[in-house]
Amino acid sequence: MTTTTTAGPPAPAPRGTPRRPRRARRVRTTEQPVLGRSPVIWRVLGYTLVIGLASLYVMPFVIQLATSFKTNPDAAANPLSLWPATPTTAAYQRLFGLSESHETVPFLRWLGNSAFVTVLVTAGRVLFDSMAGYALARLKFPGRRLLFLFLLAVMAVPGIVLLIPKFLVLSTFGMFDTYAGMVIPLLVDAAGIFIMKQFFESVPREVEEAARIDGAGVFRIYWSVVLPMARPALITLTILSFQGSWNEFTHFLVSTQSAEYETLTTGLARLVSGGLGSGGQFPLKLAAAALSTIPVAILFFCFQRYFIRGANAGSVKE
């Protein structure tokens, strides 16, 4: 009689016995070398396309800067040249009142008026838009939804339609051709209220309820609890308000008349139209335009990261 035995699993190696290293399998591939998830050739083409498009956008600013250092004959003969034939700072000297050979340009007065109005308008919009946005997001009062619909309707109305009503209102209240007429109508912005309302609605109510239990009132909750959480939205609103009021033209056109209240936009418009001398004066015009873009560019590049932050940034920390 014969018996068959089934071989079981191999006995485990005793502890301390070194294991044989496994040989790595050689895999033959014919794929092209990649960088990330895309072939190198496609990434190179993509970067080339992006650099080309960026050059198209940057080129006008480079031409503007180069032309501002040219003479009038050189700018008229070679308008697209990227290097002045005879570099000169005559245009900048004339803007800052350092040249006596030409008619002076009140650029410093334009700059002062623009800075004064922009600071007041930006501060007013940040304060009043945030207060109005918090009221629409948290406070319960009759007609709140109807008021929000009116806000959306105002955002849908083109600004050019309101020029004549603005002029009539300013003339009726005696605010035409004054700083008050330049600043007060711009202190509140419908888009800013909408931005702040959407942010405040994302803040958890538990934070406000905890402050209310501690005895804080509505304004104290808004000022000390909710507003510090809205830092990304406030910075975004500040940049948008600064840029909008600095580049405002139509409102200043209908709210002022005398040269005393001219801003950079209205002053540059008069300069371009030939109101401050004859001839092309391309270096002078482009030098003034280049200087007027510096404050907005600095502000944007310093705080551009806040544009991409989410609405919930800083509200609750786990």
Closest CA to 288 of 270, 264, 263: 264
Please report the pLDDT score of residue 13 as a whole number. 53
Closest CA to 241 of 305, 313, 198, 193: 193
Type of residue at 195: I
Please report the pLDDT score of residue 79 as a whole number. 84
Place of tokens 């005393």: 260
Determine which helix (DSSP H) or strand (DSSP E) holds 34, and give its type and residue range: strand 34-35
Pull the structure tokens for residue 99: 């040249």
Per-residue pLDDT tens digits of the chain, which is 318 residues long? 444 455 555 555 555 555 555 655 555 555 554 445 568 888 889 899 999 999 888 898 899 999 999 998 888 888 888 888 888 998 898 888 887 766 678 899 999 999 999 999 999 999 999 999 999 999 999 999 999 999 999 898 888 888 999 999 999 999 999 999 999 999 999 999 999 999 999 888 999 999 999 898 999 999 999 999 888 889 889 988 999 999 999 999 999 999 899 999 999 988 888 766 555 688 988 999 999 998 888 888 887 776 555 434 434 444
Place of tokens 């009726």: 172
Type of residue at 222: Y
Determine which helix (DSSP H) or strand (DSSP E) holds 39, and give its type and residue range: strand 38-39
Q: What angle do CA 302, 303, 304 make, to 5 degrees?
A: 105
| 207 in Cβ contact with 314 (< 8 Å) | no
Question: What gap in Å lies between CA 235 and CA 227, rounded to an integer?
Answer: 12
Pull the structure tokens for residue 279: 């001839």
Quick check: pTM over 0.85?
no
